[in-house]
Structure 1
Amino acid sequence: MTVSSAHRARKSFWLSIIGASCFTLFFYLYQPRAVTLTLGDLASIPLEDHVRTRSNTTSLLLQLLSQVYGGKEPHRLSCDSVQGNARLEDKYGYLRKQNLNILLGGNTFNTEALLPTQLWAIAELMTFLHSKTIQFGASIHESGSTDKTATLLNQVLIPLFHHIGMDPSEIFVTTNPVGPDWKKIPDDRVPILADLRNLVISHLKNAEVHYDLLLFFNDVYFCVSDLLELLHQHVQQRADITCAMDYHSAAQFYDTWVARDIGGNMLWKAYSYDHKPFQFHAPSRDRYEQRLPIQMYSCWNGMLIFDAKPFIDDVIFRDGNKTRGECRESEASRICKGGRIASSSTLMTVDFWKVNRGRIQMLPAVAVAYNEDVYEGRRKINAPQKTVVGNETIQWQQAPENVQCIGYHDNVYEWWSTDYKKDYLKK
């Protein structure tokens, strides 16, 4: 063999070795195989590769939950899945065509028992609505929990958001080992709640995304069908605030402090043992018995959707202003009622009315609860109590002339109050 032919033979040999090695490496890298993603892996995946199928999302959620619970799957509420659900698809599939930026918001404390249920419903909502025209962000805040609430937020919720494709800059989730001292000054319950909820809505002002809706949830059990119905009715009714109904027993409504019918009254007489709401407003009671949407003066009820614009402009959660004679109610009532009565929730409602955002509705068909057994019990009896003959579409009315004030002073709720405020909508 000549030198030249020997050289060519050696060259051919090494090229064959290199070729075989490259093929082996290619086959190894690209053959289908199971991959276990760590939290660090999830955070580093490019955003354009984040969107997964629904089955992959639920598989990942189970994996993340199992990691927190030592390889065991934690208990969660039994809910209908969106996957392969023709009923949900037929009713809610159109929502994917809406142009919506939705902020998921909430304050949480020692909610480990219900978080697996909430996380499952949120994951299903986001994957069901996935489209080019819908974007989600999150502003969820925990403080002072002594259970696994903070761990579930950090090691399950945040990675889940990354996996589904939420923009990392829109994930505003915080945990704090130190929570508010609720016992130090019991009368400060309303301003403390207002501060906590203002932390949630602060992201609406600071975010690069212009949000259309805020979906706010408390420590309640809910399924994805509840979330979809809430969003569906908010869109169809062109509402400004859409509330669920929350229960502390299967037959008894919970959030009586905030809720006022469109006549400005509580839903029950003080100390009434009648479990049927809307004792002062017969048209609302009729719609309740048919499980049709009902216009309210104010509501909160554990889970609700807000139009985001009033918060972006100037509405905040706040305490009542004593010098202006505002009723000291829930911070939520104040937002709905327009700033003149008093609960960060009640006052929030007031402030919505004051900026001409009084399309506030409550959905008897969406029943949530603070206890799993209560949720299950209510689900069994929440069908319409009479034949549905009414029009589902609300005929919106103006604000009532007077609104009943149930104040809160010295850690006491003034349920006996007959105080009605007339000038509550003055600016």
Structure 2
Amino acid sequence: MPPRRFKSLLRATFVCLSFVTLAYFLIGSSFEGQRSRTTHVPTTTTDRVSEKKASPRWLDSAPPFIEAIMNPEDRLFDRLECPALEGTRYEHFRRSSNVVNITTRMPEYFFALDLTDCAHVLPRLIGSIVETMRFLGPENCALSIVEGRSVDGTYEILKLLQETLASIGVEYTFATNETDPMAKEGVRIEVLAGLRNQALKPLLENPNSYAPETTVIFLNDVALCMEDILELIHQRVYQQADMTCAMDWTFLGDNPTFYDVWIASGMHGDSFFFVPETGDWDLAWKLFWNHRASAERLEYGKPFQVFSCWNGAVAFAAKPLLEKHVRFRVSYEGECFQGEPKLFCKDLWYYGYGKIAVIPSVNVAYSDPMAKRIKELKGYVSRWGTTEDASSKIDWKLKPPADVKCMRSYEDQPWLPWDEQLAEHGVAP
């Protein structure tokens, strides 16, 4: 059992990590933001896109970051070491460049990110994305990044990256948004939903430029390898999944601790581990303590179905966004207060896209040092092996759990119908 003295360390870690992850927990149970009564697309406060003035100091320090991002052999930064690809597991994703008409291209892979104050992880994070896009074919890829409120050089690095990515044929949309999710009480989830939708804006506003089969790869500010990204895409295709998620981790002292517990729910409707009303995380290492099937597949690194997940890195089909107009949103009036990724999964289920899976061989963390530790403990994707048999396939359940735990706060965790308030607010399947 992790000693109790590590609890304060864990909570401090939550405050410092990405504004798009489990910091939702610290908000409390109330939400006073605007909610739509007739549609599942929210009115958000993040439509204001601002132009930023680059800092001369950070502009001067940006070129080494660009070099590291574009050159996987660069050793200036002490980043997570990633293995070279071996074998032919992902070769089916390659497409001959002579098949693509650059002037009328339709990207098959859309990368989306919301980033702030994460310059330290950019060489590994964006570097792995660039490696992946080179593997898939830059002409087949689009990248959309929304940066906000950074004071550590993140903005300058991402802005300078535009010319470099254009030179290799990548369609790169870069925007800024200074809206602070914590600036006003009660609107955090609304702002975060808007930021996620803004990252998807090039796809959402140009539906004729993307096919329903396009894969969206949405990443948090995590350290990960090219093989992690490719495995999420591969499993989405191999499993015929609508969405695949990684496993993201922090550390409770020396103990690896699953991070995105507020968002992630299993097919039993419960969270991945038990959090009592006291807020203790002393049982965080007992993942799926009450769902043996998921626990066993997790132990053996086999993909398993869940009700919802995000976990730092996801790949999902563009079809629900393009055809059903699914968006990130806030909770409706009377609906359980929850994070926008969980609501996103809830809406996917409602529209018949419930093949949502966790890929336990893909393990990510929110800094290079933590990622190194988690790879040592959990292994790289390639260490789990690249062969598949009948047991690797998910036995998909087409119906979600009848009830799902609603964690409004640690003290308030009722079980509610999984589709609570959808029909009442005019959402038609």
- Kindly indicate whether the alpha-carbon contact (under 8 Å) linking 1:352 and 1:358 is maintained by their aligned counterparts in 2: yes
SS of residue in 2 equivalent to 1:361: strand
TM-score between the two structures when normalised by the length of structure 1 = 0.71
Which of residues 97, 107, 124 is equivalent to 1:117?
Answer: 124
* C-alpha distance after superposition, 1:70-101 (max 9, x if no partner): xx97415243354xx4x2x4221122159961
| Separation (CA, whole Å) in 1 of partners of 2:197 and 2:126 | 23
Partner AA of 2:349 in structure 1: W
Look up the match of 2:179.
Answer: 180
2:92 pairs with one of 85, 91, 94: 94
Tell me which amino acid in the other structure corresponds to 1:126. M
- Counterparts of 1:59-138 in structure 2, within 5 Å, are 64-65=66-67, 74-80=76-82, 82=84, 85=85, 87=86, 89-97=87-95, 101-130=108-137, 135-138=140-143
- Could you list the runs of 5+ residues in structure 1 that have no partner in the other structure? 1-60, 338-350, 408-412
Equivalent in the alignment of 1:260: 265
Q: Work out the CA distance in 2 between the residues paired with 1:66 and 1:255.
A: 29
Is 1:335 equivalent to 2:367 in the alignment? no
Larger Rg: 1
Give the deviation of 1:229 after TM superposition.
1.0
Residues 133-152 of structure 1 correspond to what in structure 2 (within 5 A)?
135-152=140-157
Q: Which residue pairs with 1:31 in the alignment?
A: none
Q: Secondary structure at the match of 1:332?
A: helix
1:67–1:92 CA distance, 2 compared to 1 (3 A): closer
> What does residue 312 of structure 2 align with?
302
Distance 1:222 1:372 in 2: 8
Report how far residue 206 of structure 1 moved: 2.0
5+ long unaligned stretches in structure 2: 1-62, 97-105
Measured after TM superposition, the shift of residue 268 of structure 1 is: 1.2
- Whole-Å Cα distance in 2 between the matches of residues 263 and 400 of structure 1? 6
Higher relative contact order (CA 8 A, sep 6+): 2
Distance in 1 of aligned mates of 2:155 and 2:281: 39
Partner amino acid, structure 1, of 2:153: K
Structure 1 residues 214 and 188: alpha-carbon distance in aligned structure 2, compared to 1, 3 A threshold: same
Paired with 1:102 and 1:378, the residues of 2 have a C-alpha distance of 27
1:320 aligns with 2:321: no
| Structure 1 residues 311 and 76, CA gap change in structure 2 (3 angstroms) | farther
Q: What is the percentage of aligned positions where both structures have the same residue? A: 29
Q: Matched residue of 1:90: which SS?
A: coil
| Distance apart, 1:163 and its partner CA | 2.2
**2-structure distance, mates of 1:359, 1:205:** 22
Tell me the TM-score normalized by structure 2: 0.71
1:395 aligns with 2:395: yes
Q: Retained in 1: the 8 A contact 2:114–2:196?
A: yes
| More displaced stretch, 184-193 vs 354-363 | 184-193
**Aligned ranges for residues 18-417 of structure 1 at < 5 Å?**
64-65=66-67, 74-80=76-82, 82=84, 85=85, 87=86, 89-97=87-95, 101-130=108-137, 135-156=140-161, 158-166=162-170, 170-176=171-177, 179-207=178-206, 209-211=209-211, 212-249=214-251, 251-270=256-275, 271-274=280-283, 275-313=285-323, 314-322=325-333, 325-337=334-346, 351-383=347-379, 391-397=391-397, 398-407=399-408, 413-414=409-410, 416-417=412-413
Partners of 1:126 and 1:183 in 2: how far apart? Answer: 34
Given that 1:405 and 1:421 are in contact with CA atoms closer than 8 Å, whether structure 2 keeps it comes out as: no
Size of the aligned set, in residue pairs, is: 330
**Deviations 1:39-95 (Å, cap 9, x if unpaired)?**
xxxxxxxxxxxxxxxxxxxxxx96943799xxx97415243354xx4x2x4221122
Partner of 2:114: helix, strand, or coil?
strand
Q: Is 1:246–1:368's contact at 8 Å kept on the other side of the alignment?
A: yes
